[in-house]
Each structure stands twice: as C-alpha cells, then as structure tokens.
Chains A and B, each alone.
Chain A
C-alpha cells in the first residue's frame, strides 16, 4: 500500500536503508515528504533538493565571467564554476548553458565541465524531486511531450528545463502538470491525451510559388 509520509513519520518498523530516510532505534523514519510503498519498500520523495552527482547533466545561467572561471547559477544550494580553459567558446553573463558535473569540491562548489551554450528558448524551474518523473522510464514521458508539441526540451537534473521551438506554451503546461501530479497514477496517459488534444494540427504545406503560374 502506498502512503504519504512527512518528516519524522515512521516508514518501516525495521531498519531499511533508503535515500530520504534515517534509522534510529532499529526503525526507519522519513526526512522529507515522500510516498512510501509498503510492499515494494520504496520511498519516492515529493519534495527535495538537488545533490550534485558526478557526470549528471545540469542547466544553468552564467552569473559572472571572471578572468579564469565562469560562475553558474544552478537553482541549487551550491554555485557552479566552469574553468575557462575547459570551455570551447567564450560565454557571456546571462548565457544559458548545459554542462555536466565534474566534481563537488571541498568548498561546496560544483565544478562543471563540457559546457554548451543553449541559444534562444526559455528556462523553466521545477522541483528537483520531480525531474525523474518528467523524464519517465527510458525517457518515455519526455519523448511524448517533444513529439506532441515539436518543442526541443533539455532537462537538467538540477530542476532547470530548457525549451525551444514548437508549441512551447503547451510543453510548459505539460511540464508543470507533471510537477503537480507526479504522485498520481496514470500520469503518462493523461499527459499523452493532453498533448494530443491540444497539439497544433499540422498545417498544409503552402503552395509552391511557381505552381500554377505557367
């Protein structure tokens, strides 16, 4: 049976090693608002912060370009830095970038590598705990939105989403709906039908200018 647990709630009478829980007196308690499945012994967080892990893809905004480094705003407890010599091209303040996490250094700064500037488009911020639901198993959920709306979407594990082209408004609505309804069963089907119902119908190709002129 699934149930919503809040910080301090008993998750299991036995010690179970889970990501968002702690063990005290041989019992397991939750640390964040989550859904616990008693049968599968899984704890899926509904709220939570992003913890940097090596090689994860993140999206951020260049906050400050210094002589040797760039500081990146990551929507996280820590700031990101890119060492200029690892950047293929120069970047300016306000540039949206995608990069992968190289390491979390001792001062609490996330060192990023392989930055790529994202041209155009817009950024969206969602709660990091919902990112896995947005991707879906084998990216099925995300593919459903990109196919239905024609929007190019890049997902940062830090909860920052970049969208460009196609019906971005519909794609935004779908992403925000996933955030709100992540814990409700049958979400993939609902998003599928939402995108299908509202997606712009393909326009007939405009007649070729030379057609009929002869």
Chain B
C-alpha cells in the first residue's frame, strides 16, 4: 500500500527516530510456559510474543502422520486485543494460516524429523501485542522455544524484515512502515550456513537494493542470533554463578 502523503524518512531518520539500518530493541525470556516442552517470550519493539513447543507426540488426526518422519504443525495467532485493527474473529484468518504454514516450513528445514517417525511437533505462537514484523519475531521466538524443548535441530534460525522507502533500504519495519513502504521483505536465515529459509516479498526492489537489504539483514542477524543464544544459556549460567 503506497501512500506518498506519509513521509517515512526525513533527514535520514525514520518516524520513530531510528536510522535506516537500526533495529528496534529486543528482549527474550526463556521458559515462560511451564507445561510446555520449551517456551519463550519475546519483546521486539512494541511486539510482544509468546511461543511454546509441544511434542513430539502422537500425530492427530492419524491421517496427518508420516510414517517416515515427524510432522511440524504451527499455529500463529494474534490475540483479539493485539492491535488497533480487527482481530476478534474466532479461529484463524487467511493471514494467520499463511504465516503458520511458512513458519512450519522454516523449522522443517532444520529439525531432525527422521528421528521421530509418525509423530507431530506443535509450535504455538501467540501475538499479545503487535507493531509490524510479528512473523519475524514469531520465528525468532519459536526458535528459542524449540531449542529449549530438547528437539534436535541443525541450526537456530532467526528472522528479520527488510524493506524499501523511496530509494532507501530499511531494516526491521514497524507497523506504519509495513503498511506504507514501497517494499517489505520478511526473511528467515539459518545462521550456521547463512542460508535463507524464508523469503517473502511484497513490493518491488532493484537488484542492488535487494542485495543491500540482504547484507543489512545478515548483519542484523548477528545481533539477533547472539540474543537468542544468550537467552538459551542464561538460565544455566545463572545457576553456575550461584555457586562460584
């Protein structure tokens, strides 16, 4: 949705005062849902998200089971009170179904599914408060929850969005930028190999802009990845420090 009336960048600063390559502040709290296999709570700017992972367990209904490998089922949902727009409908809307699908596919790339044939792994992502970039935040948060659940993975994916305003490439779009920018590209990256597990593009970019955006996302990924790893290690390090 392009709107020339709204100036998203002026004097090199975005509406919330960030530089084009600056991310919003982030916080990850591990193990917030005690009954789950693994869980995490994430604040990314004004986004507030809880992710919890259950399983592997018996795949239900039975016809969804794959006898050779586990199946990953994801449910991404926005709470009815999460944004100023309407999210009060019961059940998943088209957008939630799409995000659930792409999130599950990110994890299908890295979880060692063949170790648990015939089972299912459930990922639940609940958006409590949203301000753009919730699918990226959801994947980043779910990745921490998955690692905490003890399900073997080959990598710890993170996600971030990049976009374009006029000729400027920007990082980590918020709600307004998401709606009114010229392009919006959510990305999920596997940091061990720097390979792309999710790339969706809404809008148009030149090849150079796209390359710049990718480089920006990879650079930001170092910070996100470190935050994820610190969150995973924090509880163990805390225990260790008690007895030093």
Which A residues lie at the B interface, using CB under 8 A? 4, 6-9, 20, 22, 24, 29, 31-33, 45-49, 51, 77-79, 107-108, 127-129, 180-181, 183-186, 190
Contact = CB atoms under 8 A, between A and B. Distances in A.
Nearest to A22: B154
B147 to A, nearest CB: 5
Determine chain B's interface SS by DSSP, over half rule.
Answer: mixed
19 contacts: A4-B233, A6-B147, A6-B156, A7-B110, A7-B147, A8-B190, A8-B192, A24-B154, A33-B233, A45-B150, A49-B116, A49-B150, A51-B115, A77-B116, A107-B118, A180-B239, A181-B239, A181-B243, A184-B240
B192 A29 contact: yes
Contact of B118 (A7, A9, A108): A108
Contacts of A20: 152
Interface in B132-191: 147-156, 190-191
Interface string B201-244: 00000000000000000000000000011001100110110110
B117 interface: yes
A31 B233 contact: no
A25 B240 CA distance: 33
B39 interface: no
Interface in B81-99: none
B156 A7 contact: yes
Given A6-B233, A183-B240, A33 B55 contact: no
Contacts of A51: 115
Nearest to B144: A6
Contacts of B20: none
B148 A77 contact: no
Contacts of B147: 6-7, 32-33, 47
A130 B147 CA distance: 16
Nearest to A180: B239
Interface string B66-80: 010010000000000
Contacts of B47: none
A29 B116 CA distance: 20
Given A8-B155, A31-B153, A49-B150, A108 B117 contact: yes
Given A29-B192, A108-B117, A7 B155 contact: yes
A6 B38 CA distance: 14
User: Which A-B residue pairs are the 7 nearest by beta carbons?
Assistant: A47-B150, A31-B152, A8-B155, A77-B56, A7-B153, A108-B118, A48-B150
B119 interface: yes
B112 A31 contact: yes
A47 B235 CA distance: 12
B236 A7 contact: no
B152 to A, nearest CB: 4
A77 B57 contact: yes
B239 A183 contact: yes
Nearest to B155: A8
Nearest to A25: B193
Contact of A129 (B67, B116, B150): B150
Contacts of B192: 8, 29
Contacts of B116: 49, 77, 108
B153 A47 contact: no
Interface centre among B118, B191, B242 (most CB of A within 10 A): B118
B110 to A, nearest CB: 8
A127 B149 CA distance: 10
B149 A47 contact: yes
Contacts of B57: 77
A178 B156 CA distance: 27
Contacts of A190: 243
B154 A183 contact: no
